[in-house]
Structure 1
Amino acid sequence: MSNPTVRAIVTDIEGTTTDINFVHKVLFPYAHNKLPEFLRANAETPAVAEQIDAVRSEMGDPDATLEAVIVELLHWIETDQKVTPLKALQGMVWADGYQRGDFKGHLYSDVAPALHQWKETGKALYVYSSGSVQAQKLLFGYSNEGDLTPLFSGYFDTHIGHKREATAYQRIVAELDLPADAVLFLSDVVEELDAAKQAGMQTLQLVREGTQAGTHHACVTRFDEIVL
């Protein structure tokens, strides 16, 4: 695929830059194991207390005990819920894990060279993932390819909207201050690509191992097949 009109690239993470197994078999279990002790130890810290209150609000129970909050959070992890305070708290636990060297952020081998090349040719690079902005920065900052955060101009998470809704992509385009058709969105998920296309973006599906190719979007299997 070659398109000279692309001025900015927005990429998804899970299944696009990163093996989905890294998230589901490394990050989620790590948060599940560490979150209870992390919350008990840090519940009074303002940043953590704010998220605990946000969980209570999601539960519809402003007086929920810390233990009830922990049970709810673990349930959300087990059922892969995209709840904003959960994502924020997971990010804090993962920060600890990355800094301790318990794991590195996984990137497919074709990702970093392509990101470097696009950046060098003047494309602005962004991330849009359902994981929190903090979690995104950690994954790219402590990646198996080193610290790639200097390559990115910005990050978006569920605060901008949900990934299967066109309004989220309209807000991203407004933030980038570019024509929608000058922005390319990369994802493995057809419903996300549909929403981005509805907002006027260009789209490209990454068909990694285990991904089903859709019919409405151009497809590639690796970043080095994308020619801009």
Structure 2
Amino acid sequence: MTIKAILTDIEGTTSSIAFVFEVLFPYAKQHLPDYVRNCAKQDPQSALLQAVRDEAQEPYADVERVIAILAQWMADDVKATSLKALQGLVWQQGYASGEIKGHVYPDAVAALQAWQQQGYQLYVYSSGSVQAQKLIFGYSIAGDLTPLFSGYFDTTSGHKREADSYTRIAQAIGLPAEQILFLSDVVEELDAARASAMHTCGLARAQGVLAGHTTVVSFAEIDPAAF
């Protein structure tokens, strides 16, 4: 079947891992505690904070305990949906103030623009929240790239190393999985996507091979028509 849609990961694929760990995570670590305190002050029944309590299975955690939970999740790189949502809100402030600019590789920008012009539907699937995804592309160093994308998916669709997540995404896109090409730098994610019948291509920007998958070092090497 001909590829009609391209689904891409962000971290390590379209964007530098260093940007996430050296810019985004430190910014969230610094600003999240005050954001949570202000959130609790403005809305004692905040659904955002209750989601943290629910996910941590600590329904009566006070505000400082919620902050401690979030700090531990960040330290352990836990893909908690409530943490990702709060990080996205904090990052939104940083992007809006100009303190943060989203990193996107120039080869990714050029390829995504070309693919959209060629008629491919473009989608994002990242463990970061949909909001965080829109921010990194909306406030990127290359300008606002959000018009390139037809949709965004995060862990509310399931975890990235589970085949069912990709099946759900294909259903949401409205195409057979066989018509979707998934791009990632993580072999377990590529394995899961392939198990759902998607085509796969691995990005290994520091060279190397993602076993069992076509592997490239740049978006410039990807020809969707070849899959």
TM-score band, normalised by shorter chain? over 0.9
Whether the 8 Å CA contact 2:202–2:216 is kept in 1: the answer is yes
Secondary structure of 1:203's counterpart equals strand
Amino acid at match of 2:199: Q
For residues 29 and 163 of structure 1, what CA distance do their matches in structure 2 show? 24
**Displacement of 1:49:** 1.5
Secondary structure of 2:18's counterpart equals helix
Structure 2 residue aligned with 1:204, among 201, 205, 219? 201
Give the structure 1 partner of residue 15 of structure 2. 18
Amino acid at match of 1:130: S
**Displacement of 1:136:** 0.1
Calculate the aligned-residue CA RMSD, in Å: 1.5
Whether the 8 Å CA contact 2:204–2:210 is kept in 1: the answer is no
The 5 Å alignment of 1:78-117 reads 78-117=75-114
Give unmatched runs, 5+ long, in structure 2: none
Give the structure 2 partner of residue 120 of structure 1. 117
Instruction: Give the TM-score of the pair, scaled to structure 2.
Output: 0.95
Deviation digits for residues 14-43 of structure 1 (CA, Å, limit 9, x no counterpart): 000000010011100100000001111122
**Displacement of 1:59:** 2.1
For residues 44 and 203 of structure 1, what CA distance do their matches in structure 2 show? 46
Structure 1 residue aligned with 2:177, among 180, 192, 197? 180
Secondary structure of 2:27's counterpart equals helix
For residues 213 and 71 of structure 2, what CA distance do their matches in structure 1 show? 36
Number of matched pairs: 224
Give the structure 1 partner of residue 51 of structure 2. 54
**Displacement of 1:109:** 1.4
Give the structure 2 partner of residue 222 of structure 1. 218
**Displacement of 1:206:** 0.4
User: More deviation in 66-75 or 56-65?
Assistant: 56-65
- Closer, same or farther: CA 104–73 of 1 in aligned 2, 3 Å: same
Aligned: 1:153 with 2:153: no
- Closer, same or farther: CA 47–133 of 1 in aligned 2, 3 Å: farther
Give the structure 2 partner of residue 40 of structure 1. 37
Structure 1 residue aligned with 2:64, among 64, 67, 72? 67
**Displacement of 1:48:** 8.8
- Closer, same or farther: CA 52–33 of 1 in aligned 2, 3 Å: same
For residues 191 and 134 of structure 2, what CA distance do their matches in structure 1 show? 26
- Closer, same or farther: CA 124–46 of 1 in aligned 2, 3 Å: farther
Give unmatched runs, 5+ long, in structure 1: none
User: More deviation in 128-137 or 72-81?
Assistant: 72-81
Whether the 8 Å CA contact 1:39–1:48 is kept in 2: the answer is no
Amino acid at match of 1:156: F
For residues 45 and 83 of structure 1, what CA distance do their matches in structure 2 show? 24
Whether the 8 Å CA contact 1:140–1:149 is kept in 2: the answer is yes
Give the structure 1 partner of residue 131 of structure 2. 134
Amino acid at match of 1:147: D
Whether the 8 Å CA contact 1:31–1:93 is kept in 2: the answer is yes
